[in-house]
């Protein structure tokens, strides 16, 4: 049976899937690079972030991030981060082939990807399994994961400092002096390039960082302080507004998902 024979009309034609697990005992950075195959990052534990398509993605344990072949991207992880990376050689229809998107990675898909990585399979069975895992990926709203990054060098400097130190509490006026631009122009440019006001962007940046810290096992009170909120109640309120649920719900969903590494899956 050929690959064409098991590909139905309108469905992706999959030629191969390879999955590896990365366990980062120390912080790790993969600078800008590109792949000939599509890349699926999933099963993240800890703080995993990706820059691609003009945005900054925080990859949660509950979803996967699909990076199409040919898209320039950079990946960064903090100490104690683990994640799975599946390289997928396939012809896929939009929206998977267009831009970096968030996807659901059902438990069945995760187990099948682990199984294919750990065990030899009959060629026909592997082909069917590879077709199945790609076919079961559903594109979902990436906005909870995506933080638009400004391209203006002055604004980019501010954005990166806030992501590195989300508790930094400089006002817009202080930043305007720091990067030598008027408050009015700084405010206007931030909204033009990110679709958010400076205050909104900083809130979303703090929540993105908080997602990784919560996934890494830090308690809510500690995460609250690390991202700039001395009052945990205020942090919970902001988190709920951005994500649609509380930090406690998010942590519970991670535990319920029972995410584990390739090595420990069998």
Contact 66, 97 (CB under 8 A): no
Phi, psi of 185 (to 5 degrees): -70, -35
Q: What percent of the chain has pLDDT over 90?
A: 62
Which domains occur in the chain, in start order? 13-140 (2.60.120.810), 149-254 (1.10.10.60)
* Cα atoms in the 13 Å half-sphere on the side-chain side of 44: 30
**Which residue is listed with tokens 């390039």?**
193
**Contacts (Cβ under 8 Å, ≥6 apart) of 176:** 182, 183, 186
- Averaged pLDDT score across all residues of the chain: 87
Which band of pLDDT confidence, cut at 50, 70 and 90, is reported for residue 6?
very low
pLDDT for the residue 141: 80
Residue-level length of the chain: 266
Q: Is 191 exposed, middle or buried (0-12, 13-18, 19+ CB in 10 A)?
A: middle
Q: Virtual CA dihedral for 217, 218, 220, 225, nearest 10 degrees?
A: -160
A 10 A CB-CB count for 220 gives 19
- 3-state SS class at 180: coil
Tell me the whole-structure pTM to 2 decimals: 0.75
What pLDDT is recorded for position 8?
Answer: 47
CA angle 132, 146, 170 (to 5 degrees): 160
Tens of pLDDT, residue by residue over 86-119, are: 999 999 988 888 889 999 999 999 999 999 999 9
Report pLDDT for 28.
92
pLDDT tens, residue by residue, 32-76: 999 999 999 998 887 788 999 888 888 877 789 999 999 999 999
Is residue 45 a contact partner of residue 89, using CB atoms and an 8 Å limit?
no
Q: What is the pLDDT of residue 263?
A: 41
* Secondary structure of 34-64 as H, E, C letters: CCCCEEEEEEEECCEEEEECCEEEECCCCCE
> Residue 158 — pLDDT band, cuts 50, 70, 90?
very high
Model confidence band, residue 167 (pLDDT cutoffs 50, 70, 90): very high
Rg (CA), the chain: 20
Q: Is the pLDDT of residue 240 over 70?
A: yes
**Residue range 188-219, pLDDT digits in tens:** 999 999 999 999 999 999 998 888 788 778 89
Place 256 in a pLDDT band, splitting at 50, 70 and 90: low
**Please, which pLDDT band fits residue 77 given cuts at 50, 70 and 90?**
confident
Torsion of CA 207, 211, 217, 221, to 10 degrees: 10
């Amino acid at each position: 049976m050929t690959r064409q024979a098991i590909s139905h009309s309108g469905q992706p034609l999959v030629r191969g899937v390879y999955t590896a697990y990365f366990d980062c005992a120390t912080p790790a950075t993969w600078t800008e690079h590109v792949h000939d195959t599509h890349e699926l990052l999933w099963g993240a534990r800890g703080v995993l972030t990706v820059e691609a398509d003009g945005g900054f993605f925080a990859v949660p344990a509950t979803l996967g991030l699909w990076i199409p072949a040919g898209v320039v991207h950079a990946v960064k992880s903090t100490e104690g981060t683990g994640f799975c990376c599946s390289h997928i050689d396939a012809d896929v229809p939009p929206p998977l082939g267009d831009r970096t998107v968030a996807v659901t990675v059902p438990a069945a898909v995760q187990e099948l990807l682990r199984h294919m990585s750990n065990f030899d399979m009959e060629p026909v069975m592997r082909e069917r399994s590879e077709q199945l895992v790609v076919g079961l990926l559903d594109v979902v709203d990436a906005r909870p994961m995506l933080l638009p990054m400004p391209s203006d060098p002055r604004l980019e400097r501010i954005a990166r400092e806030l992501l590195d130190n989300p508790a930094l509490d400089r006002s817009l006026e202080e930043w305007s002096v720091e990067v030598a631009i008027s408050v009015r122009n700084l405010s206007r440019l931030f909204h033009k390039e990110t679709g958010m006001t400076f205050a909104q962007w900083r809130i979303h940046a703090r929540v993105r960082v908080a997602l990784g810290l919560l996934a890494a096992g830090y308690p809510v009170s500690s995460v609250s302080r690390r991202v700039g909120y001395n009052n945990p109640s205020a942090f919970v309120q902001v988190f709920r507004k951005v994500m649609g649920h509380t930090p406690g719900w998010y942590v519970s969903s991670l535990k319920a998902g029972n995410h584990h590494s390739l090595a420990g899956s069998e």
